[in-house]
Amino acid sequence: MARSAKNLVSESAWLRGLPREVKVLAAIAFCVALGFGIVVPSIPIYAVSFGVSAVLAGAVVSVFALARLISSPVAGAFVDRIGERRVLTTGLVIVACSSVLAGLAQNYPQLLILRGLGGIGSSMFTVSAMALTLKVARPEQRGRAAGAFHGGFLIGGVAGPAVGGAVVAISLRAPFFVYAVTLAVAALIAWRLLPPAPGKEDPTSSDQAQLAADHPPPTLGQALRDRAFLAALAGNLTNGLVTFGLRSSLVPLFVVLGLREDATLSSIGFLVAAGTQAVLLLPAGRLADTNGRKRALILGTALTLLGMLALVIAGSSVMFLTAMAISGLAGAFMGSAPAAIAGDVVGPSGKGTVIAVFQMTADLGAIIGPLLAGLLADQLGFAPAFAIGAATAALALALAAVMPETLHRARQTHPRDG
């Protein structure tokens, strides 16, 4: 199975020319997102089956994201100490085991604890995977490499819900076991096909040590004083708040309660967003690698702002679908440009703790976005709730406009670019 995955990603045109590790990580991301897309819709229903309220059912979803956020710095420290492959594989195994046990849970507290444990494993996976993606890709490939990694998530995320309904029909517990299987496949691919951390017996270890000495990665304090890194953080916060927060939690309610349309329109909207993002994912990454990260981030944040404003004024299904299409176009840039900037900042020798903080901003947005938007929607309506996303995107756009370009900086410090 690992060999089949290797052949599949090697033959994909959108991965051609990228490092082997990026292709493997894209396949891993697909497996993870496929299972995640199957299990997520069933989690609240499964939680309610234990006799809890809707609020407590939602807490099962939130505790996963909260655990990811809290444990990310620790995951980054582990990446620096023992290497990406070990942390990534261990994280996947933790999520797989917690998923199996969650499927066997006998009460609500057990389910809540196990989902929190899964969040810890998830942070280990995402931090190490992003750190490795940015480390192995050359500066002129980082945008496309980040886009390829997110592309694996995108394809798996679309395919997961498409088959999730059939799995749920078998049993409310079945999605957790299927999720565990996809995670086990991902862990096997990671362990078999990703390179181990350089050791003393590794002939490349001396080169890595010299590289770290010549171009030491910035400390977290140094990175936070870098205007480019701050722009990347703002972009990733916007992406988490809008894509994983507002859109996921508010759009289905907006369609039914705001537009008075059937819930099917919401599903169509998400498919439109995913389709436009998939079409532009490769060109967006290539733009970041050729014309600069700054231009790509400005385009991404500007499109995010435009998409949110379109939702603010949306009063028909046509305007809604237009807004979702714009949001999908924005997602293509937001999935590559901020990550490429973060990779330029940490440099070729990498720094797990800095990447962990970068990843945390998206998790923070995914946590506070639904809560704040839900509060505003209840008190003031949907337009002010979507305006929160527009305001966050406007701040990220302002920071992107004044950031220094990092592509040339990265080329000067990367050993394979002379």
pLDDT confidence of residue 9: 46
Confidence grade of residue 253 (pLDDT, cut at 50, 70, 90): confident
Confidence grade of residue 248 (pLDDT, cut at 50, 70, 90): confident
pLDDT confidence of residue 158: 81
389 and 301 belong to one structural domain = yes
Q: What is the 3-state secondary structure (H, E, C) of 340-398?
A: HHHHHHHCCCCCHHHHHHHHHHHHHHHHHHHHHHHHHHHHCCHHHHHHHHHHHHHHHHH
Domain presence at residue 18? yes
Q: Which of 39-48, 110-119, 311-320 has the lowest mean pLDDT?
A: 39-48
Q: What is the 3-state secondary structure (H, E, C) of the chain?
A: CHHHHHHHHHHCHHHCCCCHHHHHHHHHHHHHHHHHHHHHHHHHHHHHCCCCCHHHHHHHHHHHHHHHHHHHHHHHHHHHHHCHHHHHHHHHHHHHHHHHHHHCCCCHHHHHHHHHHHHHHHHHHHHHHHHHHHHHCCHHHHHHHHHHHHHHHHHHHHHHHHHHHHHHHHCCCHHHHHHHHHHHHHHHHHHHHCCCCCCCCCCCHHHHHHHHHHCCCCCHHHHHCCHHHHHHHHHHHHHHHHHHHHHHHHHHHHHHHHCCCCCHHHHHHHHHHHHHHHHHHHHHHHHHHHCCHHHHHHHHHHHHHHHHHHHHHCCCHHHHHHHHHHHHHHHHHHCCHHHHHHHHHHCCCCCHHHHHHHHHHHHHHHHHHHHHHHHHHHHCCHHHHHHHHHHHHHHHHHHHHHCCCCHHHHHHHCHHHC
348 and 391 belong to one structural domain = yes
Q: Which residue has the higher pLDDT, 45 or 418?
A: 45
271 and 189 belong to one structural domain = no
What would the mean pLDDT of 350-355 be, rounded to a whole number? 78
**Which amino acid is present at 138?**
R
364 and 236 belong to one structural domain = yes
Q: Which residue has the higher pLDDT, 212 or 400?
A: 400
339 and 247 belong to one structural domain = yes
Contact 220, 354 (CB under 8 A): yes
Q: Which of 1-10, 21-30, 40-49, 173-182 has the lowest mean pLDDT?
A: 1-10
Domain presence at residue 212? no
Domain presence at residue 353? yes
Domain presence at residue 77? yes
pLDDT confidence of residue 418: 39
pLDDT in tens, 123-144: 999 999 998 998 888 888 888 9
Domain boundary among 150, 178, 193: 193
249 and 155 belong to one structural domain = no
Q: Which of 11-20, 168-177, 402-411 has the lowest mean pLDDT?
A: 11-20
Look at residues 254, 263, 252 and name the one whose alpha carbon lies nearest to residue 387: 254
Question: Number of structural domains, the chain?
Answer: 2
pLDDT confidence of residue 205: 45
pLDDT confidence of residue 121: 96
Confidence grade of residue 65 (pLDDT, cut at 50, 70, 90): confident
Domain presence at residue 415? no
Confidence grade of residue 120 (pLDDT, cut at 50, 70, 90): very high
Domain boundary among 158, 193, 228: 193
141 and 257 belong to one structural domain = no
The pTM assigned to this predicted structure is 0.82
165 and 256 belong to one structural domain = no
175 and 89 belong to one structural domain = yes
151 and 238 belong to one structural domain = no
Domain presence at residue 2? no
Contact 127, 355 (CB under 8 A): yes
Domain presence at residue 79? yes
**What CATH number did the domain enclosing 78 receive?**
1.20.1250.20
261 and 185 belong to one structural domain = no
Mean pLDDT of the chain: 85
pLDDT exceeds 60 at position 173: yes
pLDDT exceeds 70 at position 231: yes
Q: How far apart are CA 105 and CA 137, in angstroms?
A: 41
Q: What are phi and psi of 217, to 5 degrees?
A: -65, 150
Q: Which of 26-40, 195-209, 252-266 has the lowest mean pLDDT?
A: 195-209
Domain boundary among 147, 178, 193: 193
Domain presence at residue 211? no
Structure tokens at 299: 């385009």
- For 339, the domain range is 220-408
pLDDT confidence of residue 29: 94
231 and 183 belong to one structural domain = no
